[in-house]
Chains A and B, each alone.
Chain A
Amino acid sequence: MAATKKHRRYGMVVDIDLCTGCGACMVACAAENNVAPAPERATDRTGITPMRVYPVHNGAPGDRRQTAFLPLMCMHCSEPPCESVCPQQAVELDEATGIVTQMPQRCLGCRYCMTACPYHARYFNWWDPQWPVGMEATLNPTVAPRSRGVVEKCNLCASRLHAAEDQATAEGQPMPATYVSACVEACPTGAMVLGDLDDPDTEAHKLAKAEGTFQLLAKLGTRPKVYYHSSRPWVRSLSERNAKEQAHA
Chain B
Amino acid sequence: MPSFNDRNLIPRGLERCSLQGFALRLAPWLLLFAFGAYCIYLCLRFGLNQTNMDNRFAFGLWIFLDLTVIALGAGAFFTGFLLYLMKWKALKSVINSAVIIGFVCYSGAMVALAVDVGQPLRAWFTFWHPNVHSMLTEVSFCITCYLTVLAVEYIPILLKNRKLKQIPSFLVFEFELHKVIPVLAAVGTLLSFFHQGSLGGLYGVLRGRPFAYREGFAIWPSTFFLFILSAIAVGPSFILLTTKLAEKLSRKPLVRGGVYQMLGKTSGVLLTVYVALKSVDTLIWLNKTSQAAGFTPFEFYTFKPFGTWILFAEIVLLGLVPALLLLSSRMRARPAVLTGAAILACCGVALNRFVLTIQTLALPTLPFDEFLSYFPSWQEFGVFAAVLAYGVLVYAVSFRYLPLFPDEKQLTAPVETEELEYVSRS
A positions within 8 Å CB-CB of B:
39, 41, 43, 45-47, 54, 56, 70, 81, 84-89, 106-112, 114-120, 122-128, 147-151, 216-217, 219-222, 237-243, 246-249
Q: A124-B55, A217-B365 are in contact. Are A106 and B129 (CB under 8 A)?
A: yes
B136 within 8 A of A: yes
How far is it, in angstroms, between the C-alpha of A113 and the C-alpha of B131 when the chains are bound?
13
Q: A43-B54, A120-B56 are in contact. Are A87 and B296 (CB under 8 A)?
A: no
Contact of B58 among A111, A217, A239 (CB under 8 A): A111
* Residues A122 and B208 in contact, CB atoms below 8 Å apart: no
* Residues B136 and A89 in contact, CB atoms below 8 Å apart: no
Q: A106-B125, A108-B118, A238-B367 are in contact. Are A219 and B292 (CB under 8 A)?
A: yes
How far is it, in angstroms, between the C-alpha of A239 and the C-alpha of B368 when the chains are bound?
10
B421 within 8 A of A: no
Contact of B54 among A45, A117, A148, A219 (CB under 8 A): A45
Contact of A115 among B131, B210, B294, B361 (CB under 8 A): B361
Contact of A41 among B49, B53, B133 (CB under 8 A): B49
Q: In the complex, what residues of B have CB within 8 A of residue A242's CB?
A: 294-296, 299
Q: In the complex, what residues of A have CB within 8 A of residue B119's CB?
A: 107-109, 147, 149-150
Q: In the complex, what residues of B have CB within 8 A of residue A106's CB?
A: 122, 125, 129
* Residues A45 and B55 in contact, CB atoms below 8 Å apart: yes
Q: In the complex, what residues of B have CB within 8 A of residue A109's CB?
A: 48, 117-119, 122
Q: A84-B133, A87-B137, A249-B370 are in contact. Are A120 and B55 (CB under 8 A)?
A: yes
* Residues A85 and B55 in contact, CB atoms below 8 Å apart: no
Q: Mark B37-77, 1 if CB is under 8 A from A, else 0.
A: 00000000001110001111111000000000000000000
How far is it, in angstroms, between the C-alpha of A88 and the C-alpha of B367 when the chains are bound?
31
* Residues A222 and B208 in contact, CB atoms below 8 Å apart: yes
Interface Cβ pair total, 8 Å cutoff: 168
* Residues B47 and A221 in contact, CB atoms below 8 Å apart: no
* Residues B136 and A116 in contact, CB atoms below 8 Å apart: no
Contact of A46 among B55, B129, B366 (CB under 8 A): B55
How far is it, in angstroms, between the C-alpha of A149 and the C-alpha of B120 when the chains are bound?
9
Interface of B (DSSP majority class): loop
How far is it, in angstroms, between the C-alpha of A116 and the C-alpha of B140 when the chains are bound?
18
Q: In the complex, what residues of B have CB within 8 A of residue A237's CB?
A: 367
* Residues A85 and B134 in contact, CB atoms below 8 Å apart: yes
**Which range holds the interface residue count of chain B?**
35 or more
Nearest-neighbor residue (CB-CB) of A112 within chain B = B136
* Residues B48 and A124 in contact, CB atoms below 8 Å apart: yes
Nearest-neighbor residue (CB-CB) of A222 within chain B = B208
* Residues B129 and A88 in contact, CB atoms below 8 Å apart: yes
Extra A-B contacts (10), CB below 8 Å, given A81-B208, A115-B206: A41-B49, A86-B134, A87-B140, A88-B126, A89-B130, A118-B208, A128-B47, A151-B118, A220-B208, A242-B296
Contact of B131 among A45, A56, A86, A125 (CB under 8 A): A86
Q: Mark B262-299, 1 if CB is under 8 A from A, else 0.
A: 00000000000000000000000000000011111001
Q: In the complex, what residues of A have CB within 8 A of residue B205's CB?
A: 84-85
Give the Cβ gap from A177 to chain B, nearest Cβ, in Å: 30
Q: A119-B366, A219-B293 are in contact. Are A85 and B206 (CB under 8 A)?
A: yes
Contact of A84 among B48, B131, B365 (CB under 8 A): B131
* Residues B123 and A240 in contact, CB atoms below 8 Å apart: no
* Residues A115 and B130 in contact, CB atoms below 8 Å apart: no
B209 within 8 A of A: yes
Q: A108-B125, A115-B206, A116-B206 are in contact. Are A84 and B367 (CB under 8 A)?
A: no
Q: A84-B205, A120-B366, A242-B295 are in contact. Are A148 and B126 (CB under 8 A)?
A: no
Give the Cβ gap from A201 to chain B, nearest Cβ, in Å: 32
* Residues A118 and B134 in contact, CB atoms below 8 Å apart: no
How far is it, in angstroms, between the C-alpha of A39 and the C-alpha of B50 when the chains are bound?
13
Contact of B366 among A108, A148, A217 (CB under 8 A): A217
